[in-house]
Amino acid sequence: MLTEKVALVTGGSRGIGKAIALRMAQEGADVGIIYAGNEQAAAETLEEIRALGRKGAMAKADVGDYAQAQDAVKVIKEELGPIDILVNNAGITRDKLILRMSPEEFEQVVRVNLQGAFHMIRLLSPDFVKKRQGRIVNITSVSGLMGNPGQANYAAAKAGLIGLTKTVAKELAARNVTCNAIAPGFVETDMTRAMNEQTLEAALGSVPLKRMAKPEEIAALAAFLAGDEAAYITGAVIPIDGGLNM
Ligand code: NAP
């Protein structure tokens, strides 16, 4: 249970982030979400958090922009109080084979998926260190572990996020702050809905469990890592991929 905790979920307006926000609210946490621009989706998630009897807050920011991330954290802390749990879930893809990928497309994906997580950790870890308590959960991907054609930018960002996770875990362990990564395979969200149907079908063919994950399955693991029972887990990268990466 996450009673009396405050969680901040980036990309909490849709998909996996929304499922994590709602799961944490179900477990008793107040939840702030950061979204990039889909205000209606963010407002709906906020409604659902409040319908669960918890406090909620939302702030618009591009997490890849440090000043915007800083403003969003300020808004959420003003509404909900000090944050106990950070979930770095905001992410984008700009898939293209390396021969066609522009430097801008590479930079954009690394900026949101990797630098965004750094910004959030940089902004919240002083509070975690002061309280001698904090949980960081980073959403990486099997692409970061295995590589994936068409995803040089995304796989590099997600592999970088694993290095960031392990480093933060080592730096902050003495202050009772844990930092772990979840590496999903294919999950039923707008991100996979945007994929070419044939590519997706072929990809699912190599998943031993022969289906995609539901966002709620990722959310259950995120809530576990944020809870008391996971106090001795840090620096871990946990795949949740139907067996894809084995
Ligand atoms: P999604 O449905 O496309 O939702 C993306 C979320 O991130 C939205 O809430 C979006 O906000 C937010 N976002 C995007 N860019 C942002 C930015 N610059 N600053 C702040 N927020 C931003 O994605 P998803 O499938 O749920 O993916 C969530 C995470 O899981 C990502 O990190 C993704 O890489 C990872 N993942 C997904 C899969 C999969 O199969 N779906 C597999 C492995 C890993 P708006 O609603 O405002 O646009």
pLDDT, position 132: 97
DSSP 71-104: HHHHHHHHHH-S--EEEE-------B-TTT--HH
Query: For residue 16, which atom of ligand 1 is closest to its CA?
Result: 26
Show binding-site residues for NADP(+). Answer: 11-14, 89, 154-158
State the DSSP H helix or E strand holding residue 35, giving kind and residue range, or none if neither: strand 30-35
**Residue 81, by phi and psi: left (phi above 0), alpha (psi -120 to 50) or beta?**
left
Q: Which of 68, 137, 191 is the pocket-test mutation for ligand 1 (most atoms within 8 Å of CB)? A: 191
pLDDT, position 113: 98
154: annotated active-site residue: yes
Q: How many Å lie between the centroid of ligand 1 and the Cα of residue 89? A: 6
Enumerate residues 6+ apart whose C-beta is below 8 A from 116.
10, 62, 63, 64, 69, 88, 90
Q: How many Å lie between the centroid of ligand 1 and the Cα of residue 174? A: 31
Query: How many Å apart are CA 162 and CA 158, to the nearest integer?
Result: 7
Which is the catalytic residue, given 35, 66, 154, 232? 154
Enumerate residues 6+ apart whose C-beta is below 8 A from 167.
none
Residues 222, 182 contacting (CB under 8 angstroms): yes
Q: How many Å lie between the centroid of ligand 1 and the Cα of residue 188? A: 12
| 243: its two tokens | 């067996």
Query: How many Å apart are CA 69 and CA 114, to the nearest integer?
Result: 13
Query: How many Å apart are CA 187 and CA 213, to the nearest integer?
Result: 5
Helix (H, G, I), strand (E, B) or coil at 216: helix
Residues 159, 115 contacting (CB under 8 angstroms): no
Q: Which of 123, 182, 187 is the pocket-test mutation for ligand 1 (most atoms within 8 Å of CB)? A: 187
Q: Whose CA is nearest to atom 31 of ligand 1?
A: 91
pLDDT, position 195: 83
Q: How many Å lie between the centroid of ligand 1 and the Cα of residue 5? A: 23
User: CA end-to-end span of the chain, whole Å?
Assistant: 31
pLDDT, position 171: 98
Question: What string of pLDDT tens digits covers the 246 residues of the chain?
Answer: 999 999 999 999 999 999 999 999 999 999 999 999 999 999 999 999 999 999 999 999 999 999 999 999 999 999 999 999 999 999 999 999 999 999 999 999 999 999 999 999 999 999 999 999 999 999 999 999 999 999 999 999 999 999 999 999 999 999 999 999 999 999 999 988 888 888 888 889 999 999 999 999 999 999 999 999 999 999 999 999 999 999
Rg (CA), the chain: 17
pLDDT, position 58: 98
Q: How many Å lie between the centroid of ligand 1 and the Cα of residue 95? A: 14
pLDDT, position 142: 97
Query: How many Å apart are CA 94 and CA 16, to the nearest integer?
Result: 18
Ligand 1 close to Cβ of residue 245 (< 6 A): no
Query: For residue 140, which atom of ligand 1 is closest to its CA?
Result: 44
Residue type, 174: A
Ligand 1 close to Cβ of residue 56 (< 6 A): no
Residues 167, 173 contacting (CB under 8 angstroms): no
Ligand 1 close to Cβ of residue 153 (< 6 A): no
